[in-house]
Chains A and B, each alone.
Chain A
Amino acid sequence: MSEIFSPISVPMAKPAQAASEGAITRGVLIGIAVTFLALFLVLPLFAVFTQALSKGIAAFLDAFREPDAWSAIRLTLTVAAIAVPFNVVLGLAASWAIAKFEFPGKALLITLIDLPFSVSPVVSGLIYVLLFGSQGLFGTWLIDHGIQILFALPGIVLATVFVTFPFVARELIPLMQEQGTAEEEAALTLGASGLHVFRTVTLPNIRWGLLYSVLLCNARAMGEFGAVSVVSGHIRGLTNTIPLHVEILYNEYNFVAAFAVASLLAVLALITLVLKSVLEWRFAGELAHGRAH
């Protein structure tokens, strides 16, 4: 187009400009957007670190001398180490069934998998209290058999799995649907076993999408507060996850320590964001994208 120097190109210039905003409008809009984001999103993150370091680096490090802080970190890692692999397996199974096969009620199934996204975290915790609490449906049975679910690791894991339930499936379903079944069918026709096809054909096609969803799933699993707070029992050194430990420290006037431990989670959030952005920039074509999480 540009090499055509015809008289028409002169009047064209005007509408081309009217197809976008003027430089000043642009500048103002960019200014508003960036200021808004800085005030609403970035400043809180910044506040975590400034508050954590407000009494110096020694006070900051003191927060991590507490054995309770370490047991909270350990518990959070444990919970994530169970919940995330569980969600990976579930996400693979769900997306395999939904993307590779045709069956009635598929839309309903996808909606049901999505359901935990629209349930309040507090409600996600409450449902397990109602089931497994000693006044709950299975409460008496559990007590008789000496099984502790609520206020112990199983309850915390369950609540975490519930809130992160859709993360992996949600990313993989559209991705696998997009990729269709042709490659798998070809490989199967050539005599490869089902598992082999899954490992060598399907998995490589979805690897970045899987990693992407694991990243977000993990961030939520480690950071969940509402649901876990309802089922945890807040026992120091035993059932406190990192976010709950932050709350406890905050309630003990130990603000520096609260923000110091919180900064651990903030760093996790930053790492998640960086990795996520890298995946988005480099492998945009291999992610299912565009959907809100």
Chain B
Amino acid sequence: MVETPRPRWTFRRPSVIPGFGISFGYTLTCLGLIVLLPLAGLVVKASGLGLSGIWNVATDPRVASALRISFGVSAVAALVASTFGFLVAWVLTRYRFPGRKLVDAAVDLPFALPTAVAGIALASLYAPDGLLGAPLARLGIQAAYTPVGIFIAMVFIGLPFAVRTVQPLIAEIDKEIEEASATLGATRIITLTKVVLPPLIPAVLTGFALAFARGVGEYGSIIFIAGNLPYVSEIAPLLIVIKLSEFDYGGAAAIATIMLGISFLTLLAINLIQAWSRRRFGYV
């Protein structure tokens, strides 16, 4: 670096471009008023219960089981979404087939389709007399109104995250490395598992974490299909709504705070994965 005399420390580095004050100030004001202040209000409300109070809410059997269902089913759904998401991303980037662009566009459907619409549509499909529910019922699987229904809704909403995080990286893989590996006598399986996959792992993990976080918080598409039975198919966001209708504001705030805390940890995990990936592979 060239030694330039720094007369005094300024918050931002000097620049000829105007408008920092107003744009930065406006952003901070909006962020503060609309996002941070209300979230702080939530934490204040929950902290009114004290740490032991929050712990009591969290360990209440019904709350604990709702949290377990939300996080457990979401983890399984995110796993399935990542697996199939990887396959879909691979097929879409590596292969050419008729209708590929259409399929590619369809991946984003869950982003665009409102969750309530997805919810009633999934419920009608997977109901015992529904298009998919009937054949499943013949196999002895009841999908709607059980945790299976929650799982289906979560896969639906999580899939685009899984596809879209790995897709650009698959596109960037240097084909020559694969060819080199093949030339050196590696079979296709070995090339895939030893050469192609490792650099993709961080992206797959990020996709998993995003799908997981979205699934944990999801409400609209799930409540129509879940059955909402306490201890079996009741999700944490629904329990917040129920606590609200029971006038239990503290309880609702406590569950929300717990969910928020776990979401933060997920976000942190994503950032750590990306930092690790940057060190290990030189990109995110």
Contacts and interface: CB of A to CB of B under 8 A. Distances in A.
Interface of A: 15-16, 18-21, 26, 29-30, 32-34, 36-37, 39-45, 47-48, 51, 89-90, 92-94, 96-98, 100-104, 109, 111-116, 118-123, 126-131, 133, 135-137, 158, 161-162, 165, 181, 184-185, 188-189, 194, 198, 216, 219-220, 222-226, 229-230, 242-244, 246-247, 250, 255, 258-259, 262, 265-266, 268-270, 272-274, 276-277, 281, 289-293
Interface in B92-137: 92, 94-95, 97, 101, 103-122, 124-125, 131-132
Contact of A20 (B11, B94, B181, B244): B94
A16 B19 contact: no
Contacts of A219: 111-112, 114
Interface in B11-26: 11-13, 15-20, 22-24, 26
A269 B132 contact: no
26 contacts: A16-B182, A40-B155, A40-B159, A42-B109, A44-B121, A44-B122, A47-B131, A101-B24, A113-B31, A119-B217, A121-B237, A122-B256, A123-B237, A123-B259, A126-B253, A130-B45, A135-B249, A137-B44, A161-B34, A162-B34, A194-B17, A225-B220, A243-B114, A243-B220, A246-B116, A277-B104
Contacts of B45: 130
Given A120-B218, A230-B244, A272 B112 contact: yes
B260 interface: yes
Given A48-B121, A90-B27, A246-B117, A292 B183 contact: no
Contact of A127 (B42, B120, B124, B236): B42
Interface stretch (B49-57, B58-66, B83-91, B140-148): B83-91
Contacts of B181: 19
B20 A47 contact: no
Given A120-B237, A121-B220, A127-B42, A93 B27 contact: yes
A102 B117 contact: no
A222 B39 CA distance: 23
Contacts, number: 312
Contacts of A181: 15, 17
Given A102-B12, A246-B117, A93 B23 contact: yes
B191 A121 contact: no
Interface of B: 11-13, 15-20, 22-24, 26-28, 30-31, 34-39, 41-42, 44-45, 84, 87-88, 90-92, 94-95, 97, 101, 103-122, 124-125, 131-132, 152, 155-156, 159-161, 164-165, 167-168, 175, 178-179, 181-183, 186-188, 191, 207, 210, 213, 216-220, 224, 236-238, 240-241, 244, 249, 252-253, 256, 259-260, 263-264, 266-267, 271
Contact of A33 (B88, B111, B216): B88
A39 B178 CA distance: 33
Given A36-B84, A43-B131, A292 B15 contact: no
Contact of B103 (A37, A43, A92, A101): A37
A135 B247 CA distance: 10
A270 B102 CA distance: 12
A241 B84 CA distance: 34
A246 B120 contact: yes
Given A123-B240, A126-B256, A223-B117, A15 B15 contact: no
Contacts of A273: 105-106, 108-109, 112
Contact of B35 (A42, A115, A216, A225): A115
A137 B20 CA distance: 33
A292 B207 contact: yes
A92 B41 CA distance: 27
B120 A258 contact: yes
B220 A226 contact: yes
A135 to B, nearest CB: 6
Contacts of A185: 16-17
B113 A281 contact: no
B241 A101 contact: no
Given A225-B220, A290-B168, A44 B36 contact: no
Contacts of B113: 44-45, 223, 265-266, 269
B13 A101 contact: yes
Contacts of B97: 30
B111 A216 contact: yes
Contacts of B109: 41-42, 45, 269, 273
Given A44-B156, A120-B236, A122-B238, 11 more contacts: A41-B156, A118-B213, A162-B35, A223-B117, A225-B119, A225-B220, A229-B241, A230-B241, A269-B114, A276-B108, A276-B112
B83 to A, nearest CB: 10
